[in-house]
Chains A and B, each alone.
Chain A
Amino acid sequence: MELTRLSALELGREIKKGQVTVTQAVKEQLSVIKARDAKYQCFITVKTDKALEQAEVVQKKIELGEYKNSPIAGVPVAIKDNICVKEMTTTCASKMLDNFEPGYHATVIGKLKEAGAIIIGKTNMDEFAMGSTTETSHFGETKNPWNIERVPGGSSGGSAAAVAAEEVPIALGSDTGGSIRQPSAFCGVTGIKPTYGTVSRSGLIAYASSLDQIGPIGRTVSDCASLLEIIAGHDIKDSTSVPELAKNYTEGLVDDVKGMRIGIPRDYIGEGLGTEIKEAVIQAGKVLEDKGAIVEFFNLDMVDYAIPAYYVIASAEASSNLSRYDGIKYGYRAKESTNLQEVYKKTRNEGFGQEVKRRMMIGAFVLSSGYYDAYYIKALQVKALIKKAFDNAFKKYDFILGPTAPTTALKLGNNLNDPLKMYLGDIYTVSVNLAGLPAISLPYGIDSKGLPIGIQMIGDVFKEKTIIRGAYALEQTRPYVRPVL
């Protein structure tokens, strides 16, 4: 039994049964990381000693009967490096924070620890979560385990790749415009972006506050549903976290879609979508129909306006959220700054990468006097219309089925020169963030280039269980496919 091939839930069960100790599991995981990460570069930080320490502690507790209700006690988890973990660096893959050690855990980390999960390390990402390929990381690129000349997607590329490469069974990522779902699709794994407000953002280093959510990435829908149950919940430290939440997501793990009404937007499967991906979506629709669901095509509308609205809003919020990086309180500070203005300007110019600077300038522009109404307010109005379009769709359908991304994994190296082209790759994911909806990306086939295809199921607010059900049903017909590692 190769431990590192097991799903998180499977490993959790083996540990509880006493078939394997936490220390064994963690040791094996660490040796896989050692063997493979030089190739894939999923991790920024691996805390070997700490992980083994944690393993010992958790093992003892399990033997004493603790963690009875936690299915992932003793299971290693990787954390995207924009989520604060005490006593290790949280860098956001940026020079600006490459030595930042928070004195506090993010709320989700506290929840993972309470569940007995073992935090193995911090994964690579696009700098400050801005990007779709993980190429904007200050620490270098992550390679897609399916093909090392390809990107793993972004911005949670490190987390998705680590799961695909079996360096961990589960990981946490964050999703602002598709950053969990798109890398999950590119790497052939499952990822969920929950309804906005479901998972606490306290300790998540902010990119776009009204859009960011932390979510699970795993090799199975069940793993993701379980992990989501653990990290979801109201947090008094996050004023945008939903006060009362029913988190019984694992109840959706049933292979039963009879009578469910599923809509496939025509505007999602038109021009611009790769043929093989389109076929995968249609095929998934047929399978669901065969299983008793009612599947039909419809016009979602507003699709073209999602990206402009997203980029205006996200850049605006990011420009404000990133102003705190000024060389004074933490992080990078430019040497040889003789006056205050130099400290600010040199630090920020040297500490941030191109893409971050670009978005901060766009953000400053759309918020500046004279342009605020035409851009920022306009974008918020478009956002309202997009939400309305989804509300109308959900009057008819239980969930929406479509592609996650217009292509499979792009080639490494030539994506950053044409930012607009890269932004257009977010077409199916950003509107979900704008409307605050939950969505899951499920691997569904391999294309002729040998790259995984991801399909997306979008639910109405707080309907994670519904999309989990749809994804679970499909997963039964197409179990997880492993890349050649």
Chain B
Amino acid sequence: MISDEIIKYVAALAKLDLSEEEAAKAKKDLSEMIDYVNQMNELDTTGIEPMSHVFAYDNVFREDMVTNRPERDMILSNAPEKKDGGFKVPKTVE
């Protein structure tokens, strides 16, 4: 059920650079997994509302107030590469 194309596709979506070996293993694992997961189709779920949140509560808000102060040093403290107060990446062309 899981083809090479699908592995390529999901690896690209997840930004993973799989080797041929890894891709082959992933294909096997995912195929097994999806076959197993397909047993959900045995259940008749017509009319059942998909449940995103377990609880019925809603409207969790905060007030519109500025409560944060600048803390750039902390924000950049773990940056692998930084420059001029920002995170540095290779040139990103639009």
Contacts and interface: CB of A to CB of B under 8 A. Distances in A.
Contact of A103 (B6, B33, B48, B77): B77
B15 A326 contact: yes
Contact of A384 (B16, B49, B75, B77): B49
A435 interface: yes
B40 A420 contact: no
Contacts of A101: 77-78
B40 A210 contact: no
Interface string B69-81: 0010011011111
Interface size, A (range): 35 or more
A358 B29 contact: yes
Interface string A373-385: 0010111111111
Interface of A: 99-101, 103-104, 196-197, 210, 236, 239-240, 242-243, 304-305, 307-309, 311-312, 319, 323, 326-333, 337-346, 348-349, 352, 357-358, 360-365, 368, 375, 377-385, 387, 419-420, 435-436, 461
A384 B87 CA distance: 42
B82 to A, nearest CB: 10
A436 B78 contact: no
Contacts of B34: 362, 365
A436 B11 contact: no
B54 A210 contact: yes
B26 A358 contact: yes
B14 interface: yes
- The number of chain B residues touching the other chain, given as a range, is 35 or more
B62 interface: yes
A360 B13 CA distance: 9
A100 B78 contact: yes
Contact of A328 (B42, B55, B87): B87
Given A242-B55, A343-B89, A331 B78 contact: yes
Contact of B55 (A100, A196, A378, A379): A196
Contacts of A328: 79-80, 87, 89
A99 B91 CA distance: 25
Interface in B7-39: 7, 9-11, 13-18, 22, 26, 29-30, 32-34, 36-39
Contacts of B49: 381, 384
B32 A420 contact: yes
Given A311-B33, A436-B54, A333 B16 contact: no
B45 A382 contact: yes
A343 B90 contact: yes
B87 to A, nearest CB: 5
A331 B91 CA distance: 20
Contact of B37 (A100, A375, A377): A375
Contacts of B55: 196-197, 242, 436, 461
Contacts of B79: 328-330
Contacts of A368: 9-10, 13
B66 interface: no
A332 B39 CA distance: 38
B50 interface: yes
A196 B80 CA distance: 35
A380 B33 CA distance: 18
22 contacts: A101-B77, A197-B54, A239-B60, A242-B55, A243-B57, A307-B36, A308-B36, A323-B15, A327-B80, A328-B87, A329-B79, A339-B91, A343-B90, A358-B29, A361-B16, A362-B33, A363-B14, A380-B52, A381-B50, A382-B43, A387-B51, A419-B32
A350 to B, nearest CB: 9
A364 B39 CA distance: 19
Residue of A308, A319, A368 ringed by the most chain B CB atoms within 10 A: A308
B47 to A, nearest CB: 9
A333 B80 contact: yes
